[in-house]
Amino acid sequence: MYDINQIINREGNTPEVDLLELGDWSEQIAQELAGEEGITLSKEHWDVINFLRDHYQRCGPCPSGRTVLGLLEDNFAQQGGKKHLYHLFPRGPVVQACKIAGLPLPAYSTDPHFGSVM
């Protein structure tokens, strides 16, 4: 459970501390979550998942779904950008990829263009 004092007072906190709050995530859990989403994970999926987890570890949570989508588009531009990402995660690269990566959804990611079912 998150400690509100740690969230309010971010001084001294590192993203590694935040990752401890994400629970036990493993590649096996990712496979199970992907199966629930109807996705069979390939190397390309793992590239996106690992990018998101590495970015979260280095920088902490992103301020919005739009920010995450922009980071993904920039990083995977050579593979086809947004089109490639939606091919991998048809219900939305932000929502599906974050879920499979075991990361909290960024703020404002309930926009249907990010793949939310809400």
Domain that holds residue 11: 4-114
- Interatomic CA distance for residues 82 and 112, integer angstroms: 15
CATH number reported for the structural domain that contains residue 39 in this entry: 1.10.10.370
Residue of 68, 59, 67, 61 lying closest to 96 (CA atoms): 68
The pTM of the full predicted model, rounded to 2 decimals, is 0.75
Query: pLDDT by residue (tens digit) across 36-81?
Result: 999 999 999 999 999 999 999 999 888 999 999 999 999 999 999 9
* pLDDT tier, 1 (very low <50, low <70, confident <90, very high otherwise): very low
How many domains, in total, are found in the chain?
1
Query: pLDDT by residue (tens digit) across 69-113?
Result: 999 999 999 999 999 999 999 999 999 999 999 999 888 776 555
Residue of 82, 106, 78 lying closest to 93 (CA atoms): 82
Q: Considering just the CA atoms, what is the radius of gyration of the chain in Å?
A: 14
**Is 11 a residue whose pLDDT tops 90?**
no
